[in-house]
Amino acid sequence: MAATAAVRSPRPSWKRTAKRLLFGAADFSQQCTVGLQAPQAEVAVWLEGLGEPLDVTQGHFMACGAPLLIGISDEFLRGCHDPRRQTLSLRFRERSAPARLLGSIGLTFFRAVRAGGGFVHLFRPRSPRNYCLPRLQLWAHYLQYARLRWRSPDSEITMTARDVHSMCAFYICPRPTGLVSVCDGSHSSIFPMNLMGATGRDYFCFALKTITPVVSLVQRAGRLALCSLPVEKAPLAYRLGKNHNSESMDMSQLPFATVRSPKLRLLIPEFSVGVKELQVESSENLGSHTLFAARILHEEQWTSAPQFFLIHGIYDLWKRKAAMA
């Protein structure tokens, strides 16, 4: 007698239906790569609370992950005598019509740090709002992120739920990712960086994880080249992320051709879209990240190729839905 094949019952349809209702038609990663012209013109970030809203799209950045700190150049706050007494917020809107509100983050003054001849004001986030998903789907994802944090208690950076939700809103605005080249004479490295922003006409700030060896390398070297990348090189940048955990690397083993930066003569990728050469003037441990303030020595843009930016998956899903509408 022939054996009969076992018939496996189909996965209960109610589970698929529940997942679809909670998370929407598609699941997504928290970080998504996009290619955009720089400076990006997709999302505008407005500072509200000082009279007329101020466009700070190119004048704010993330200074630390835990505690989450958002830096804003004092160029935008010079009319504010005491930011501790102001009710400020960042609002993220479409740059083009109808300029829909995509998210917001309330700001609570934390402290000011010197950057060149001025200051960067640091703020803690409060009351983050994200309008890219229906409330039920949004909170389903928030619960999923909380579960991931609970299952990974040994993570290098421990963030509060409020900070995680603020990050979801913060990365509605596309954030550029570049490659840093640094050499102190005996040690050299190239690694990716995403927490950075301009703080005035001639100054620039960036943040690196405090526990990583590249922090001491950058502090010793004092000079570096920051290269912007074409979006197709994003996978390579991710692979170079391991270099954060080493103070030096064999530059002859790089998997790409290099050229010398115009002023500092540092080895940089031949495929760079542009380069910004920096002189570090100060650094400060803020918690999970160390903030560096640097003077721009030289800057060049070589091509107009779409560059490597990061956005949050929640905003990416909103974009895809908006494109189909």
Find the farthest-apart pair of alpha carbons in the chain and give their distance in angstroms, rounded: 91
Beta bridge partners of 230: 307
pLDDT digits (tens, 9 = 90+) for 103-112: 999 999 999 8
Examine the pLDDT at 73 and tell me if it is beyond 80. Answer: yes
* Cα–Cα distance measured from residue 71 to residue 307, given in angstroms and rounded to the nearest whole number: 23
What is the rounded average pLDDT of the residues 148-176? 83
Mean pLDDT of the chain: 87
Query: What backbone torsions phi and psi does residue 201 show, to the nearest 5 degrees?
Result: -60, -40
3-state secondary structure of 250: coil
Q: What percent of the chain has pLDDT over 70?
A: 86
* Lookup: tokens for 203: 């100054």
* Lookup: tokens for 10: 């189909």
Least confident of 37-41, 43-47, 81-85: 81-85
* Lookup: tokens for 320: 């895809």
175-309 placed in CATH 2.30.110.10? yes
Position 78 confidence tier, pLDDT thresholds 50, 70, 90: low
CA atoms within 13 A on the CB side of 59: 17
Position 13 confidence tier, pLDDT thresholds 50, 70, 90: low
| Residue 156 CB neighbours (<10 A) | 12
* Cα–Cα distance measured from residue 150 to residue 251, given in angstroms and rounded to the nearest whole number: 39
Examine the pLDDT at 204 and tell me if it is beyond 70. Answer: yes
pLDDT digits (tens, 9 = 90+) for 265-323: 999 999 999 999 999 999 999 999 999 999 999 999 999 999 999 999 999 999 998 88
* Cα–Cα distance measured from residue 221 to residue 277, given in angstroms and rounded to the nearest whole number: 13
* Lookup: tokens for 24: 């929407």
Q: What residues contact 238, with CB distance under 8 A and at least 6 apart?
A: 192
Residue 24's pLDDT is 46
CATH topology of domain 38-172: Pnp Oxidase; Chain A (2.30.110)
Pairing of strands 60-65, 307-312: unpaired
* Cα–Cα distance measured from residue 180 to residue 212, given in angstroms and rounded to the nearest whole number: 14
User: What does the angle CA 264 – CA 175 – CA 78 come to, to the nearest 5 degrees?
Assistant: 80
* Lookup: tokens for 26: 């598609």
The better pLDDT of the pair 90, 139 is held by 90
Beta bridge partners of 175: 310
The helix (H) or strand (E) run that includes residue 135 is helix 135-151
Q: What residues contact 264, with CB distance under 8 A and at least 6 apart?
A: 223, 224, 225, 277, 297, 298
CA distances from 259 to 220, 240, 262, 272, 305 (A): 23, 18, 9, 9, 18
pTM attached to this predicted model: 0.87
Examine the pLDDT at 68 and tell me if it is beyond 50. Answer: yes
* Cα–Cα distance measured from residue 251 to residue 271, given in angstroms and rounded to the nearest whole number: 16
Spell out the alpha helix ranges (H) of the chain: 13-23, 135-151, 161-170, 214-221, 234-239, 313-324
Position 15 confidence tier, pLDDT thresholds 50, 70, 90: very low
What is the rounded average pLDDT of the residues 68-81? 80
pLDDT digits (tens, 9 = 90+) for 48-59: 988 889 999 999
Beta bridge partners of 46: 55, 91
Q: What residues contact 150, with CB distance under 8 A and at least 6 apart?
A: none
Examine the pLDDT at 145 and tell me if it is beyond 70. Answer: yes
